[in-house]
Amino acid sequence: MMWKIVIVLVAALALASAQDQAALPQNCSAPGVESIDWNNTALFGHWLEVARNPLGNAKACLSFSVGLLSDNTTLSINASHSSSTTSLYSNIDESANVTLVPQAKTGYNVTFYQGQSAQPTVFIKLLQLVNSTYITGCGYTDPQNNATSFGFILSSGNYSPTGIKLVNDQAFPLYSNFQNNTYANITQAGCYKSSAAQSLPMISGFLAVALLLIKAH
Ligand SMILES: *[C@@H]1O[C@H](CO)[C@@H](O)[C@H](O)[C@H]1NC(C)=O
Ligand SMILES: *[C@@H]1O[C@H](CO)[C@@H](O)[C@H](O)[C@H]1NC(C)=O
Ligand SMILES: *[C@@H]1O[C@H](CO)[C@@H](O)[C@H](O)[C@H]1NC(C)=O
Ligand SMILES: *[C@@H]1O[C@H](CO)[C@@H](O)[C@H](O)[C@H]1NC(C)=O
Ligand SMILES: *[C@@H]1O[C@H](CO)[C@@H](O)[C@H](O)[C@H]1NC(C)=O
Ligand SMILES: *[C@@H]1O[C@H](CO)[C@@H](O)[C@H](O)[C@H]1NC(C)=O
Ligand SMILES: *[C@@H]1O[C@H](CO)[C@@H](O)[C@H](O)[C@H]1NC(C)=O
Ligand SMILES: *[C@@H]1O[C@H](CO)[C@@H](O)[C@H](O)[C@H]1NC(C)=O
Ligand SMILES: *[C@@H]1O[C@H](CO)[C@@H](O)[C@H](O)[C@H]1NC(C)=O
Ligand SMILES: *[C@@H]1O[C@H](CO)[C@@H](O)[C@H](O)[C@H]1NC(C)=O
């Protein structure tokens, strides 16, 4: 009788300690923190960065277009953003090519280029895809310094404060770059591109012709 109780107790203790370990939020650098495979059509398309923790010097209006090039090996990422945390004028374009490794789960170092000019390399892991509309991830602004890590939330467009909070609630028990109810919003509302590109398509038909005639004279 006694030995059965001992076995049950030992088993219960083992289970409790296993759960403690699993429950501990993991750092981005932990090998056990696996990235989603980036070669996934669910990740392709247009994403807005809506939240980051800590904000650091993240720029406003951060958006990304992601797609596989026709070689089936290169992931193309085109980004645009404004020049500061507060400016709504999204006038900086960057692009990066990532050479995909089949089924990689380690994340990638990504170097964006502004024209010919390489920007500092960042390291990125993608952690969770939520309802096809949000992605959580973590990274380092300096891949050689794990103290520069941050967590981020991307949205495919239909985001809301409630949705962002739900996504953060799902992430913080697992990943230490997310904190309960603590993240900065990346401003997306009111962002605009160059006024020429922005306003021309909106002026249509007769009005456009009239404006052209006025300008020509
Ligand atoms: C995460 O990193 C911090 C700072 O280096 C460290 O104190 C903490 O123990 C790490 N957490 C885990 C789960 O490894
Ligand atoms: C950084 O790396 C060191 C050494 O691998 C580790 O002890 C520490 O927990 C890591 N810190 C973070 C925040 O990941
Ligand atoms: C990124 O921009 C380049 C050059 O304009 C284009 O060829 C490529 O298809 C774009 N990638 C995506 C994912 O939109
Ligand atoms: C890329 O993959 C598509 C579909 O999987 C296939 O039709 C195409 O031939 C592949 N292209 C190359 C260059 O391997
Ligand atoms: C990405 O690769 C494409 C196709 O090879 C090339 O046209 C483009 O310039 C590359 N972009 C960058 C940022 O390296
Ligand atoms: C990416 O996925 C496509 C389509 O499934 C496949 O053809 C290609 O080989 C994959 N590329 C890598 C580097 O795994
Ligand atoms: C990213 O770069 C860092 C520093 O250069 C390197 O230690 C690390 O292995 C690289 N990670 C990957 C997945 O290539
Ligand atoms: C994802 O979908 C489930 C089921 O519809 C819903 O309960 C949950 O709130 C959604 N999560 C987010 C972040 O929208
Ligand atoms: C998250 O924070 C809220 C208060 O802001 C608190 O009520 C809740 O218990 C916290 N959740 C966890 C899992 O710590
Ligand atoms: C983020 O935006 C939401 C909704 O607009 C707001 O409730 C929340 O306080 C903001 N958070 C921060 C850190 O600014």
Residue extents of the structural domains in the chain: 41-210
- CA-71 nearest atom, ligand 4: 13
If DSSP codes are grouped into helix, strand and coil, which group holds residue 47? Answer: strand
Rounded distance between C-alpha atoms, residue 173 and residue 83, angstroms: 33
Domain 41-210, CATH class in plain words: mainly beta
Q: Check pLDDT > 90 for residue 202.
A: no
82 touches 211 (CB < 8 A):
no
- Report whether pLDDT(172) > 80: yes
In the predicted model, what is the mean pLDDT of residues 110-116? 98
Mutating to test ligand 6, I would choose from 39, 66, 75, 106 the residue with most ligand atoms within 8 A of its C-beta, which is 39
Residues with CB under 6 A from ligand 5: 69, 74, 95-97, 113
CA of 28 relative to ligand 5 center, distance in Å? 29
